[in-house]
């Protein structure tokens, strides 16, 4: 069984290795708290729980869930929180021969579950209903060779494990913002060698570098294209335009950048949409014919 130190260290290392980009964040982040006591967690527990990416800020133990008339949903895995256990004892001083009061301080941990992992528990602060959008769900489901998806406090793509991390849909302000963010990360994932093999995706380029900026442009432009296909672009375009402009301003010296990024974004969108080579060639031919009229 791992020690409390090992549990904490493993969780923090996972966060440090994620390499998350500092871009727009349309999801809520609130201080995690215990549902029963309403007390906010402190210290390292903030990071251990906030990283899980649930929409609810509330956590509780298995017994607390039962005491509230509910239960933990089948198949759910808990998260670790730690506390200092202080014990007092008496021990003889080998030098003086006198018995002295001593304290032992040990770091211990226990398991808690997010409110969203439980059933049958009513909360005084219910989350707004963020319903799935059928067309967006179809786009995600039809993507060939999809990367693995896991819950995270931040939206990110990890090339080393070919994994997309996403906060819960309930953590977002709207369903459109959730899918726009999801499409951004899926576009990143198309750069993996098992898909379109985009140059630079497997390298950890420093934030602010030209390669990093170009990849972010590709991902956001791909998200815009997919939002257009799903007919939700009107609800997300302002955020995307503002985000794209922030990168374009940094790279004005490269007049070919935006055209190159758009081309790669189109390839990524075509891959996610499972478009065949014949379909993309037909679309390109039709577009060229319209421009010549």
Phi, psi (degrees; rounded to nearest 5) at 229: -65, -35
Question: Nearest CA to 188 among 20, 6, 16, 10?
Answer: 20
Phi, psi (degrees; rounded to nearest 5) at 127: -80, 150
Res. 276 pLDDT band, cuts 50 70 90: confident
Tell me the pLDDT tens digit for each residue of 245-268: 555 555 555 656 767 787 898 899
Mean pLDDT computed over 264-275: 92
CB-count exposure of residue 215 (10 Å: 0-12, 13-18, 19+): buried
Asked if residue 240 lies in contact with residue 223, where contact means CB atoms within 8 angstroms, the answer is: yes
The mean of the pLDDT values for the chain is: 78
- Three-state secondary-structure class, residue 290: helix
Residue 16 has pLDDT above 50, yes or no: no
- DSSP sequence for 214-282: HHHHHHHHHHHHHHHHTT-HHHHHHHHHHHHHHHHGGGTT-TTHHHHHHHHHHHHHHHHTT--HHHHHH
> What element of type H or E holds 63?
helix 62-67
Question: Nearest CA to 103 among 83, 89, 84, 85?
Answer: 89
Round to whole Å and give the CA distance between 50 and 15: 11
Give this prediction's pTM.
0.65
Query: In this predicted structure, what is the pLDDT of residue 44?
Result: 78
Reported in sequence order, the residue ranges of 179-254 that DSSP labels E, i.e. its strands, are none
* Strand order across the beta sheet in which 156-158 lies: 148-151, 163-166, 156-158
Tell me the pLDDT tens digit for each residue of 211-243: 677 888 889 888 988 988 888 876 666 666 666
Place of tokens 């375009």: 237
């Amino acid at each position: 069984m791992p020690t409390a130190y090992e549990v904490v260290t493993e969780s923090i290392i996972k966060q440090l290795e994620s390499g998350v980009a500092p871009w727009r964040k349309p999801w809520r982040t609130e201080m995690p708290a215990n549902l029963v006591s309403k007390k906010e967690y402190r210290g390292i527990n903030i990071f251990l729980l906030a990283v899980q990416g649930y929409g609810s800020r509330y956590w509780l133990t298995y017994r607390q869930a039962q005491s509230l008339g509910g239960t933990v949903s089948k198949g759910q895995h808990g998260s670790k929180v730690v506390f200092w256990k202080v014990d007092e004892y008496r021990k003889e001083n080998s030098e003086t021969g006198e018995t002295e009061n001593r304290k032992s301080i040990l770091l211990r941990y226990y398991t808690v579950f997010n409110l969203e992992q439980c059933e049958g528990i009513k909360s005084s602060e219910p989350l707004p209903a963020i319903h799935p959008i059928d067309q967006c769900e179809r786009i995600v489901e039809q993507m060939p060779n999809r990367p693995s998806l896991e819950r995270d406090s931040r939206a990110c793509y990890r090339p080393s494990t070919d994994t997309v991390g996403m906060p819960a849909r309930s953590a977002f302000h709207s369903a459109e913002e959730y899918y726009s963010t999801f499409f951004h990360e899926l576009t990143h994932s198309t750069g993996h060698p098992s898909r379109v093999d985009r140059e630079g995706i497997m390298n950890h380029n420093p934030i602010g570098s030209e390669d990093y900026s170009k990849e972010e442009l590709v991902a956001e432009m791909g998200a815009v294209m997919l939002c257009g296909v799903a007919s939700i672009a009107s609800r997300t375009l302002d955020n995307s335009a503002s985000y794209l402009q922030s990168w374009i301003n940094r790279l004005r010296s490269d007049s070919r950048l935006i055209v190159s990024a758009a081309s790669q974004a189109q390839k990524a969108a075509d891959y996610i949409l499972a478009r065949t080579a014949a379909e993309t060639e037909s679309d390109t031919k039709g577009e060229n014919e319209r421009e010549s009229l």
